[in-house]
Structure 1
Amino acid sequence: MVSSTSVYLFGLSQLLTTASSANTGATKSCTRDAFASLGLPNINVLSVDAKLDQAHWDVDDTLNAYPVQTDKTVEVCQLTVNYTHPGWNDKVTTWISLPVDNWNGRFVGMGGGGWTMGSLGALSQAVFGGYAAASTNGGHDELATVKSWGLASEGNVNWANMQDFSSVTLDETASLGKAATKMFYGKPHKYAYWNGCSTGGRQGLMMAQRYPTQYDGILAGAPAINWDKFIPAEFWPQMLMDVLDYYPSTCELEAITEYAINACDELDGVKDGIISLPGLCKFDPTTVIGKTAQCVSNNSTIKLTAKAAKYVSLVWAGPSDAYGSSLWYGLSHDAPLTSLAGTNCTTPSKHCKGVPFQISADWQQIFLSRNSSVDLSTINYAEYVRHFRQSVNEYSSVIGTRDPNLTGFKQAGGKMISWHGMKDQLIFFNGTENYYQKAMDIDANLQDYYRFFAAPGAEHCKAGIGFYPGSSFEALVDWVENETAPDTLQAIATPTATGTAQLPLRTANLCAYPKILTYVGGDASKAASFTCK
């Protein structure tokens, strides 16, 4: 679910600085014959294409790093491996990029977003840093409809493709990438890393849980874990519209969010448009009933209604069953509502209809209803709750990715960092926090090998107006190779208007959970004005 929207562009980072060479050149030529033996015991390789190519930097493919621009290219030996699993009738593509010069001795697996398992473009970030790198399409093309790979036929899930997407191809990509690296350079990698956000974050946690020996270090941003729960929870705002027969306009939703931010912003001592202490925010949307809001789209003014207040309060509360028991978390008070509660209106505040977030719609339609033509607007409350239970019962062991017992990863000597924007509008921040707390309950020494960082004001896999830890991958490498455990992550918040004041570029050092970033006084744009408590 990684958005392609670029955050504030900083100067060229060290990712674009050619790494020190651990190998001056390849020991084999970049030809198909040179990789003829590439394969694994459980797959049938259909083809291996190898060619010299130029990797181009694409800022939209940047993962867990400050986006940068460059016209430089890096020469790589580019492999495309197509294979199938005997009896599964699937076809998987894995891309492997090997820098011809200045390989730094490391290998990295690059993750995807949404239904996209990975991409060739994502490898450019890695090879510009001197890494050998691999990614996979997980058995389906990026532009393929979910129906085309999710259903074997109407009414029947394609379980082979679901296994490919959830876990199997991740393990195989790591093995194929490492083997190709050794073939090309004549020696194995020194360290192996994973880098992903959203779906890529879930993939990282899946590796730690199910394949704990593949990576020495894992960076899992905004991880899409608890997939079987949070994806149905993403559909809750749309189902509520149909049940309440109320379709809020963008103007209404943004106005109530702004009132909430204004009410809770200064709980942390700083007025900056960021709610850093969400647990203390008790804003009641009924308090703004009758107040006015300005609609930017047509410069009109509307009054906030009781229906809007009720709707938003239910979205914030999250889905619950008929007995009032919570099924999952809701969005935070400052998270943009329109991603999950989107509507399409003929005017800014009238004649609206719901526009579901596509992945939540796909899950309801393809994997729960198993009917590609079902009308999602007909899903009532009772059916929604039934679908929620179905999702957990049928898919938790396949793609839930929430096993908190990381003993295998610990014993393998791995290190892992997760970060999550507290203003995430797609994946509920509390779900990641809950997972980490459960892992801490199992292992009191969890922080010896796994650390979690909350990012106030950050949105899904990007900054928003909040603190974005674009230094997190470098921190992971330092932890793995130099045993420097990160107590904080360097983060940057982009300039933004708050009221009539224009904030400067801000820096902060995000705190390792359970500590929280706390203002202690001074210039709020400086990291020194905050501490971890």
Structure 2
Amino acid sequence: MVSTQVALAFGAAIAAVRAASLADYCTVDYVTSVLPTEDLGLAVTIDASSVSAALATNQSVTSEWYAASVIDYCNVTFAYSHNGLNNDTVHVSYLVPTPENFSNRYVSTGGGGLAINSGASYSPSGIIVGAVSGITDGGFGNFDTQFDAAFLLAAGTVNWQATYMFGYQAHHELATLGKQFTKNFFNVSDSDKLYSYYQGCSEGGREGWSQIQRFAEQFDGVVTGAPAFRYGQLQVNHLSGGVIEEAMGYYPPPCELEKIMNLTIAACDGLDGKVDGVISRSDLCKLNFNYTSTIGEPYYCAASSGTSLRRRQAAPTGYAPAQNGTITAEGVAVASAFTNGLIDSQGKRIYINPQPGSAFTDAITQYNTNTSKWEVAISSLGGEWVARYLQLQDTSNLASLANVTADTLRDWMVLGMQKYYDSLQTTWPDITPFKDAGGKVIHVHGESDFSIPTASSVHYYEAVRSTMYGSLAYNDSVAEMDDFYRLFMVPGGAHCSSNPYEPNGGWPATTLQTVIEWAEKGVAPDTLENDGGVIDTLCKWPLRPLWSGNGTSLECVSDEKSRDSWIYTFDAFKFPVY
């Protein structure tokens, strides 16, 4: 713990910090003097000897999540340990803005995949809005170490401390320490409001919801993108494409699936009233387009060293021959079954897959040079989840999908949900305490997300709506939700970013600023600004975009049939799946 003498010695500097230059306070001595030593209810001890402070000036930063900027900041890091635990060290990093740019704000940013932080992918957004911006390493070793490296203490033995840190605890500690550190650093009095925010996508989106569901007063505003809800279902579902292919005995070349996707985009583009290279209404595509219309269409892809469709993690590599053929009925059957989502042997729905027009990432195949045939490429996301997190093996994938059926995947989903319900599932639907605390959340999801189905976000929104306001008429319940929770889908958007296959879709870059306006000034967003897209404003669910006047006027319209196409009941399970 930092000594009282050191803190007193720097008392004058604390009072004058807002008049100082960045270089004046970006020092180890000053940072040490303002470490959060108050009783914050965390039962942790900060290691004052671990403090570092590095000045960064004229740093050019760019991302689809914030506007390109040139920023100055002080990068502060320190470590802490949990009282009573051995060999326990957690590192946190806070980017501190210049005194003249500080706007009484703190921002936490989240991770992606199995990483608990995304480094500079999101953290500069805090500096841009005048906030101290924090990330954590979760106690996994360093900021580059991911959860899978810390998950097992040994084969068959779960590191539950690491699991709960990844699930929600590390981000609670990051924000709690970060907010107090910010107050101390800039001498924010108890009578002055320090606004706190969160931003993250994918795993980072799930992390944001883990805080909303457990720590109602922690953040004034939250931006979550494509959250990895329903960990038990989601991770196993990445195996669905391979299981469908095994069941059908057909392994479409990647080029065949890519052609089906491109033809789908072309066919469904104009269903929203404007031909612009973007599927803005994947619901209308689902209701009106049939993959069978693509049978017989030619495709060609040159030979390459890898597959043509992107994977989020661990893409199949190796030689891929030139692919020259026509779309087959078998390829269409695979595409149709994949888009429809997993169905068990009793005809009941297990889970959902991406919207039509999305890349068939989880159905991608790989070429076997020994057999000269295409075969299943086991998703490393789904395969590692089953092998490491369910079977507790120290391995990064399953060896094969032999004898694995849709029913097997269903049962694995049940096991994952049971095992990690209180840590990773993150689907608690009653967030009344967050609303009552005045919190605001903006939830975004790319409509052509190839990794986390867009309907996953709709399902959670509807679970919250029906849980909190199920006694009200639909429109009345949506109005209640609008007070604190708004969902926006990004036409053509891929997984947490714009889409190379629908490049006119764009991506919202000022969502954090929007939730700040909502939390601090009460300016609720009926639409969301979309950067770089032919649709420059995004419609709030359940309204959907529709062009009129020969594509000159965009409206957000109510369409009950289309809305219903996003709603699913997972009746393969004998319990609610929120």
Partner of 2:234: 230
**Uncovered stretches (5+) of structure 1, i.e. residues with no partner:** 1-20, 495-505
**Uncovered stretches (5+) of structure 2, i.e. residues with no partner:** 1-15, 304-320, 470-476, 559-578
Alpha-carbon distance between aligned partners in 1 of 2:548 and 2:458, rounded to the nearest angstrom? 24
**CA 1:94–1:406: 2 relative to 1, 3 Å:** same
Partner of 1:75: 73
Structure with higher Rg: it is 2
| Equivalent pair of 1:293/1:304 in contact (CA under 8 Å) | yes
| Equivalent pair of 2:32/2:51 in contact (CA under 8 Å) | no
Q: Which moved more, 1:276-285 or 1:467-476?
A: 276-285
| Equivalent pair of 1:94/1:137 in contact (CA under 8 Å) | yes
* 1:394-433 C-alpha deviation (Å, 9 max, x unpaired): 2233211112211110111111110111100111100101
Q: How does 1:134-533 map to 2 (within 5 A)?
A: 134-140=134-140, 141=142, 143-144=144-145, 147-187=148-188, 190-281=194-285, 282-297=288-303, 301-337=324-360, 339-345=361-367, 351-373=373-395, 374-378=398-402, 380-381=404-405, 382-441=407-466, 442-443=468-469, 444=477, 445-464=480-499, 465=503, 466-494=505-533, 506-523=534-551, 528-533=553-558
Q: Which moved more, 1:416-425 or 1:301-310?
A: 301-310
SS at match of 1:388: helix
Alpha-carbon distance between aligned partners in 2 of 1:224 and 1:117, rounded to the nearest angstrom? 13
| Alpha-carbon distance, 1:63 to partner | 6.4
SS at match of 2:55: strand
| Alpha-carbon distance, 1:453 to partner | 0.8
Alpha-carbon distance between aligned partners in 2 of 1:186 and 1:63, rounded to the nearest angstrom? 33
Alpha-carbon distance between aligned partners in 2 of 1:419 and 1:354, rounded to the nearest angstrom? 32
| Alpha-carbon distance, 1:30 to partner | 4.2
Q: TM-score, length-normalised on structure 1?
A: 0.85
The residue type paired with residue 111 of structure 1 is G
Alpha-carbon distance between aligned partners in 1 of 2:65 and 2:289, rounded to the nearest angstrom? 32
The residue type paired with residue 279 of structure 1 is D
The residue type paired with residue 513 of structure 2 is E
| Equivalent pair of 2:339/2:356 in contact (CA under 8 Å) | yes
| Equivalent pair of 1:119/1:137 in contact (CA under 8 Å) | no
SS at match of 1:519: strand
Alpha-carbon distance between aligned partners in 2 of 1:22 and 1:473, rounded to the nearest angstrom? 26
| Equivalent pair of 1:198/1:223 in contact (CA under 8 Å) | yes
Q: How does 1:84-95 map to 2 (within 5 A)?
A: 84=82, 86-87=84-85, 90-95=88-93
SS at match of 2:495: coil
> May I ask how many residue pairs the two structures share in their alignment?
493
| Equivalent pair of 1:487/1:511 in contact (CA under 8 Å) | yes
Alpha-carbon distance between aligned partners in 2 of 1:86 and 1:342, rounded to the nearest angstrom? 47
| Equivalent pair of 2:71/2:127 in contact (CA under 8 Å) | no
Alpha-carbon distance between aligned partners in 1 of 2:194 and 2:390, rounded to the nearest angstrom? 43
Alpha-carbon distance between aligned partners in 2 of 1:57 and 1:304, rounded to the nearest angstrom? 49
| Equivalent pair of 1:22/1:105 in contact (CA under 8 Å) | no
Runs of 4+ residues deviating >4 angstroms: 26-30, 55-60, 296-300
Alpha-carbon distance between aligned partners in 2 of 1:369 and 1:210, rounded to the nearest angstrom? 28
Partner of 1:50: 52
| Equivalent pair of 2:61/2:71 in contact (CA under 8 Å) | no
Partner of 2:19: 24
| Alpha-carbon distance, 1:279 to partner | 2.6
Question: Percent identity of the aligned residues?
Answer: 25
Alpha-carbon distance between aligned partners in 2 of 1:361 and 1:183, rounded to the nearest angstrom? 45
| Alpha-carbon distance, 1:522 to partner | 4.5
C-alpha RMSD of matched pairs (Å): 2.8
**CA 1:508–1:206: 2 relative to 1, 3 Å:** same
